[in-house]
Amino acid sequence: MQAYWHICKCLAYMKIIIISDLHVGDAAVSNEFAVGSSDNAVKNQLLDELRQLAKQENIRADYVVVAGDITNSATKEEFELASVRLKEIATIVGVEPSKVFFVPGNHDGNWAEEEISMRAMENINLTIERKYNNLRFNNFFKECLEQALSGSYYYEPYFAIWSDDNLNVIGVNSSVFDHYDNKPHHGVIRRQDLASLDTKLQELRIGDSNKINLLVVHHHPTQQPDLPFETADHSILQNAALLMEIASKHRINFIVHGHKHIPRLAQYSDEYQHPINILCAGSFSARLDDRWFQGVPNTIHQIEIDRICDVNSTPFGKVVSWSHNTGHGWTKNESINGIPHKEFFGNRMSPVELKKQLRESIECFFETQTHVRWSELSNHCADIIYTSRKLLDKTINDLSKEIGFSIFKTPGQDEMFILLKGN
């Protein structure tokens, strides 16, 4: 028991800032992230307003993770500006540059150089080197990768692993074989590279660790909703199912990805019965077209680990998200197409058991009072606060019909609703 509480003490309040798809260059929405003039750079104070948000909400983190598409065209100038801006973002949230981790996105390989090399039928290893020259030789990203425990993004098997006392970060380059002429840009992880990843994670005994295990990849490894598009989404990662099996087998806690510019938090579980939280980070600073994304804003997220389950060794916590809207700056994310400002994870209670516990608690409260607040329920039922909000809403709505009470929604998530006795 003493060892468990020591682990909880070490890991409690771990905070990881997640950003993706900066598209530094001519696709950036802010002139702070544009190289020269750009028609897309319609915002002027993205980082100044982030400083205001961090001060206002006391945002301090332990790590920053960037899930690819750092630049738009992979030029030397774009990577130089990106490195400056990423160090600024890290400073804003109190993170040392050595605690910044990244994976390349499909826009971080220089397609012009890749096309020249492929048309000349050069050796594929030389093509990959040329494709990533501007990223490989940028001092900031070079130093970041050199701090990895093992691996590289530019040579087989195209993954890198960082590790400290509390966190393992496994970065996989899904863009290395996402070539300039791929339509759509779906990303690829070859089977032989996945086999090497499986072997390495087994060798390091990642699954037996008391650390948080976070895997970063640019392309989405599970299918996303097709909305708002009318055609099928074929941009999912090739060999995604094999990657997910390896992640589940080695007890990865989080998979973070970019590529899709609409944020989403989902949970995955397969035959290994290990839950994986999958966070699509959306876009931090790309210009998003309202016609396509229905007003989805730029976003930044923070994974907050509150504690570790003493039974399953899985984390309890929440993902906190903020969005940027012109004229309002960074605010608590309430976009209808994104994820809530706060979404919770960790409660592994079955829906049947969740409903049973909620029913007992609500009926107990109604014996002595006419209304029940969310704060009362969450204090009464252990771990219930870490239930996904979709499951919680469905369960409460089902119980309202069965028990007979009304649900009064309240603004904010600290006191989400009040249940009123009687219909």
Beta bridge partners of 286: 28
Least confident of 2-16, 27-41, 312-326: 2-16
pLDDT at 228 over 80: no
* pLDDT value at residue 423: 65
- Separation of alpha carbons 21 and 149, rounded Å: 25
Domain spanning 351-421: CATH 1.10.10: yes
The single-letter code of the amino acid at 273 is Q
Neighbour count for residue 98 (Cβ, 10 Å): 13
Q: What's the distance, CA 388 to chain centroid? A: 16
Q: Is the pLDDT of residue 97 over 60?
A: yes
pLDDT for 334 equals 75
Rounded to 5 degrees, what angle do the CA atoms 369, 371, 374 make? Answer: 125
| Tokens describing residue 197 | 């990843």
Instruction: Read off the pLDDT of residues 27-77 as tens digits, 9 standing for 90 and up.
Output: 999 999 999 888 888 888 999 999 999 999 999 999 999 999 999 999 999
Q: What is the mean pLDDT of the chain?
A: 91
Tell me the domain boundaries of the chain: 2-345, 351-421
Between 9 and 16, residue with greater pLDDT: 16
| DSSP symbol at 24 | B
The model's confidence at residue 3, banded by pLDDT at 50, 70 and 90, is very low
- With cut-offs at 50, 70 and 90, classify the pLDDT of residue 4: very low
Closest among 256, 217, 299 to 22, alpha carbons compared: 299
Residue in this structure with the two tokens 């104070």, named with its chain if needed: 45
HSE toward the beta carbon, residue 285, CA cutoff 13 A: 31
The CATH number given to 2-345 is 3.60.21.10
Q: Output DSSP code: residue 247.
A: H
Q: How is residue 242 written in tokens?
A: 């094999």
- In order of 174, 305, 333, 339, the CA distances from 13 in angstroms are 30, 5, 21, 21
Judge residue 47's burial from the number of C-beta atoms within 10 Å of its C-beta, 0-12 exposed, 13-18 middle, 19 or more buried.
middle
Asked if residues 35 and 22 have their Cβ atoms less than 8 Å apart, the reply is: no
Query: Distance (Å, rounded) from C-alpha 241 to C-alpha 298?
Result: 29
| Other Cβ atoms closer than 10 A to 13 | 12
pLDDT in tens, 102-145: 999 999 999 999 999 999 999 999 999 999 999 999 999 999 99
Q: Report yes or no: 15 and 303 within 8 Å, Cβ to Cβ.
A: yes
Distance from first CA to last CA of the chain, Å, rounded? 46
pLDDT digits (tens, 9 = 90+) for 386-413: 999 899 999 999 999 999 999 998 876 6
Sheet holding 371-373, edge to edge: 371-373, 417-421, 405-409
